[in-house]
Chain A
């Protein structure tokens, strides 16, 4: 069973607030990812990291930022939330360098910005 945790599970906030979505994994995986998913829609990669102090932007432009100071921790921050940021945010991790890489997903954070 995957050990990747996201908090909070649900978040409702007002416009302009700064928020941080937490993601932690206990599997020692080097690679971590953030995906954004609207209800019933596809997954869009917004950020990824191949290890400590390594972060890259994904395919979907996002106003969020990420950091990777520790292997197990990959938080996502929105400096000023807007209603357009309302979505589900999924964190995932995988092992670096293995042929049969598969993604382990957290339970997600459903963000609603009013």
Chain B
């Protein structure tokens, strides 16, 4: 079945350093979504990428969707303590109109002030 893999599993950085998490799918995705879950909280939608090679920015966050639509990345420039949390990518199941997401295992980001 479809697998969505994320690396690294954990990342600890000093405040001000950059951070990147990578997401790879075993199948081509029609779109990919990113969610952030703060410690003790629930996942919150960040963004969706649809087009091959698409790049979107949200302030210090840059999201990319690969040309083959099988991989994606999230890059945070100059991390802040408010960036702490687990970042999940998620892709829809291939085929059919039924919309279900497969989530990656997430990357836990911790930031040392």
How far apart are B100's CB and chain A's nearest CB, in angstroms? 6
Q: Which of B35-90 contact A (CB under 8 A)?
A: 35, 41-45, 48, 50, 86, 88
Residues of B near A101 (CB, < 8 A) are: 99
Whether B42 lies near A90 (C-beta < 8 A) is yes
Task: Report the interface size class on chain B.
Answer: 20 to 34
- A43 interface residue per 8 A CB criterion: yes
Whether A41 lies near B105 (C-beta < 8 A) is yes
Q: Which of A1-60 contact B (CB under 8 A)?
A: 31, 33, 40-43, 45, 48, 50, 58
Task: Report the interface size class on chain A.
Answer: 20 to 34
Whether B45 lies near A103 (C-beta < 8 A) is yes
Residues of A near B101 (CB, < 8 A) are: 45, 103
Residues of A near B88 (CB, < 8 A) are: 42-43
Whether A100 lies near B48 (C-beta < 8 A) is yes
Q: Which of B5-58 contact A (CB under 8 A)?
A: 31, 33, 35, 41-45, 48, 50
Q: What is the bound-complex CA distance between A42 and B106, given in angstroms?
A: 6
Residues of A near B45 (CB, < 8 A) are: 102-104
- B91 interface residue per 8 A CB criterion: no
In the complex, which of the residues B42, B86, B108 has the most CB atoms of chain A within 10 Å of its own CB atom?
B42
Binary B-proximity of A81-114 (CB < 8 A = 1, otherwise 0) = 0000000001000100001111111111000000
Residues of A near B100 (CB, < 8 A) are: 33, 45, 48, 58
- Chosen A-B contacts, 8 in total, with CB atoms closer than 8 Å, are A40-B108, A41-B105, A42-B88, A48-B100, A58-B100, A94-B99, A102-B48, A107-B41
Residues of A within 8 A of B (CB): 31, 33, 40-43, 45, 48, 50, 58, 90, 94, 99-108
